[in-house]
Amino acid sequence: MTNIEYMAKPPIITTLIPTFQRATLLERAIRSALGQTYPHLQVCVYDNGSGDDTEETVRQLSSADQRVKYFCHATNIGLQKNFIQAMERVDTPFFSFLSDDDVLLPRFYETALEGFKNHPEAIMSATTTLRMNEAGIIAGAPLLKWKPGLYQPPDGFLSMLDNGHPDWTGVVFRQDVIHKAGVLDEETGAPSDLDYLLRVAANFPIVVSTKLGAILVSHPGSYSITPNVFTSPGWLKMIENQTKDERVPIWVRARARTVLTKQYIQRIFMTNGFHSIIDRRWHNSQEAAYVLRCDHGLWIRASVLSAASWACENLPFAHGALLTIYAVRRLLTRFKQRLLQRQFKSYASYLRICAPNVN
């Protein structure tokens, strides 16, 4: 698309890309947005005071394609605030969030807009994302469990609880959602995206497609998998948000509390607990046991975690045995994922197609 062709029609969709010190990955993300089959969009990059070559990277892309716009904070204002400020500045009928380490597949916006066209009452259109690491190993695609089509509230909300939630990299929102549902809740922290998706689906119609729209890329620096991230305050605030909304039937709120609390406890027990033991982060595992015992009265789980942590720290064979158990567990998981790998392995190459040329 030439600049003249772009200027002839204003953008319909804004791609919001908050970023911080990931210039190379950011370039890949921007290129994936510019490569859409639906061209009437703008890509707005919100730099959280990176202080590196992020600005130069974006400027080069912007000079070649006027759809790319750059905004930079003087200092790092925090992850959630950067997302919120980007959201508040949307001036197009539709928008989506693109994490700086993820990529959009070429027909993402085309597919999402098709959902809105078929179901104009929907305030959110979700496509399927592949969860994949940089090596092309596919971990899952949650929306493949869903039945495609329109979900009236609270059916979409309940389906998120039962079948897994969309990854918002593969979601397009109407701008109206900002006025009807507000912006992200900064207090929810890490799960602010899930909190927002749940709040929207609890009150408004959403449309879902099982067509692939994006790739959620995991890597050692991914915010969602960074070790030693205690999610307690954010998850508790998210649970509170989902259970205090009086517009939602009380039985739906009760189910949300049950499901989300169970997921929250499991994250503390496994992710913050046993995964810390695997990585020999003994203090973190004991901290997880303390939270389970003192904040939630789960004495049995806390005792199991404390005992496992002590044994693996002081008895080398115990840590070796736990590593073996986890290795077997990973093999079983890989076996379950083999079908997805066969079905979607060609998409791994798309990460390389969007990657910048490095001399």
**pLDDT, tens digit, 9 for 90 and up, residues 113-145:** 999 999 999 999 999 999 998 888 888 898 999
Report the pLDDT value the prediction gives residue 335, as an integer from 0 to 100: 75
- Quote the pLDDT of residue 350: 81
DSSP 230: -
Report in angstroms the alpha-carbon separations of 46 from 15, 69, 238, 290: 11, 9, 25, 38
Within 8 A by CB and 6+ apart from 113, the residues are 12, 13, 38, 94, 125, 172
Q: How far apart are CA 63 and CA 23, in angstroms?
A: 16
Specify the pLDDT at position 231. 54
Integer Cα distance of 288 and 71 in angstroms: 39
Tally of CB atoms within 10 A around 279: 12
Predicted confidence band of residue 343 (pLDDT cuts 50, 70, 90): confident
Q: Which residues contact 98 (CB under 8 A, 6 or more apart)?
A: 15, 16, 17, 29, 32, 33, 104, 169, 214
pLDDT band at 357 (very low <50, low <70, confident <90, very high): low
Q: Hey, how many other C-beta atoms are within 10 angstroms of the C-beta on 252?
A: 19
- Please state the pTM of the whole predicted model: 0.91
Per-residue tokens: 291: 């939270």
Q: Is there a contact between 139 and 248 (Cβ–Cβ < 8 Å)?
A: no
- Residue 359 pLDDT grade (very low, low, confident, very high; cuts 50, 70, 90): very low
User: What is the C-alpha separation between 140 and 3, in angstroms, rounded?
Assistant: 38
Give Cα 165 distance to the centre of its chain: 10
Residue 227's pLDDT band, with cuts at 50, 70 and 90, is: very low
* Closest C-alpha to 112, from 123, 102, 99, 103: 123
Q: Is 331 exposed, middle or buried (0-12, 13-18, 19+ CB in 10 A)?
A: exposed
- Tens digits of per-residue pLDDT, 297-338? 999 999 999 999 999 999 989 999 999 988 888 787 777 778
pLDDT tens digits, residue range 163-221? 999 999 999 999 999 999 999 999 999 899 999 999 999 999 999 999 999 999 987 76
Verify cis geometry, omega within 30 degrees of 0, for the bond prior to 154. yes
pLDDT at 358: 45
Arithmetic mean of pLDDT over the chain: 91
pLDDT tens, residue by residue, 88-113: 999 999 999 999 999 999 999 999 99
